[in-house]
Amino acid sequence: MKRRTIELTIALMLLLGVALPAFGQNGRIDISRIDYSATAAETVEVTLDGPMLRMAARFMRNEGSGEREIAEMIEKLEGIYVKSFSFDGPGMWTSSDVAAIKAQIGPQWQRIVNVKSRDGENVEIYFLPKGDSLSGIVIVATEDDELTVVNLVGQVDLDKLSRLENQFGIPSMGLEESKQGKVSK
Amino acid sequence: MSLEKDLKRSMARKEAPAGFADRVLDRIDTHAAQRRTRGRLSNRLSRVAALLLVGTIGTGAWLQHQENARQRREAEQASMLVRIALQIASEKTNIAREHLTGVDPDRTKTRKEGNTNETKND
């Protein structure tokens, strides 16, 4: 009985050892543990999996030609995960959270951008290549008073993505209104 | 010949027994009453069945309408979140791009504040 318990424990540990690093293998990383919503001045949290993305894509296709391009873009995605926190002052987020995110980014990922500026604005962008395309993007952007992690899973067109800024009529981060929404399936 | 006589005799008109006409009329009335009763019951059942059918179809249509409205609301919410997420991703990507291409980093702060005019700090 004792031997069986030990065997089961070892099997469970092996299973967890395999399962946890599985995050990061398919383009997705786990950002759920980052949570500063209690202390942040603004919190944006987005969790959209495949079925919800398909639903959004169908809706946006019917909205007009501008939205149709976005619909085509998200139809190729399997997930969109965002956590973004803006704080009233510096020192409100910890580097260990950022380190935990980066720990999931294994050797198969490629860091294509690493920007560090004197004003404390840092951006790192990681790609997970899959053949001739990508199967995931991770963006980690930090400032003294802001922490943002974006994970796009699936085929991402970075050029299209960069052209989308300010196209939605949504003001840039940093305005008074708080934006909070969470949809999970 | 006797056959002819027998036929004539058997087919000769005979008077009906007493009360025969009354019995026949009574039986006719009974049959008619039974048919009327069955007809009323059948009409009632038909009306009930029709009401049930209309009610079922109407309820189904209403439930489908509610479900469609709920899905539409979900789709609207999901598309709004998509826009927000892509806006953020696009913003950060462009911040990196501007740093890499040597654009004045202060421009990123003015964009963040919602000001599209380029400013420089000396």
* Chain B residues within 8 A of A179 when measuring between CB atoms: 84
β-bridge pairing A122-130 and A110-116: antiparallel
CB–CB of A166/A172 below 8 Å?
A: yes
For residue A104, what pLDDT is reported?
Answer: 93
Asked whether the beta carbons of residue B108 and residue A123 sit closer than 8 angstroms, the reply is: no
pLDDT at residue B97 tops 90 = no
Highest mean pLDDT among A114-123, A149-158, B57-66: B57-66
CB neighbour list of residue A13: distance below 8 Å, 6 or more residues apart: none
For residue A45, what pLDDT is reported?
Answer: 95
For residue B103, what pLDDT is reported?
Answer: 60
B88 in A contact zone (CB under 8 Å): yes
A54 φψ region: left (φ > 0), alpha (ψ -120 to 50), beta (else): alpha
Asked whether the beta carbons of residue A164 and residue B108 sit closer than 8 angstroms, the reply is: no
Tens of pLDDT along B58-83? 999 999 999 999 999 999 999 999 99
- Residue A169: pLDDT band with limits 50, 70, 90: low
Dist CA A133 CA A154 (whole Å): 9
Tens of pLDDT along A73-107? 899 999 999 999 999 999 999 999 999 999 999 99
Tokens of A22: 């599985």
Of A46, A84, A175, the CB nearest to B114: A175
* Chain A residues within 8 A of B72 when measuring between CB atoms: 59
CB neighbour list of residue A27: distance below 8 Å, 6 or more residues apart: A78, A128, A130, A134, A135, A136, A137, A151, A152, A153, A154
For residue A19, what pLDDT is reported?
Answer: 52
CB–CB of B91/A173 below 8 Å?
A: yes
Q: How far is A70 from chain B (nearest CA, A)?
A: 9
Tens of pLDDT along A11-57? 666 665 555 555 667 889 999 989 999 999 999 999 999 999 999 99
Strand order of the sheet with strand A77-86? A42-49, A77-86, A146-154, A133-143, A122-130, A110-116
A169 φψ region: left (φ > 0), alpha (ψ -120 to 50), beta (else): left
Q: pTM (2 decimals)? A: 0.66
Dist CA B68 CA B55 (whole Å): 20
For residue A46, what pLDDT is reported?
Answer: 95
Query: What integer is the mean pLDDT of B111-115?
Result: 44
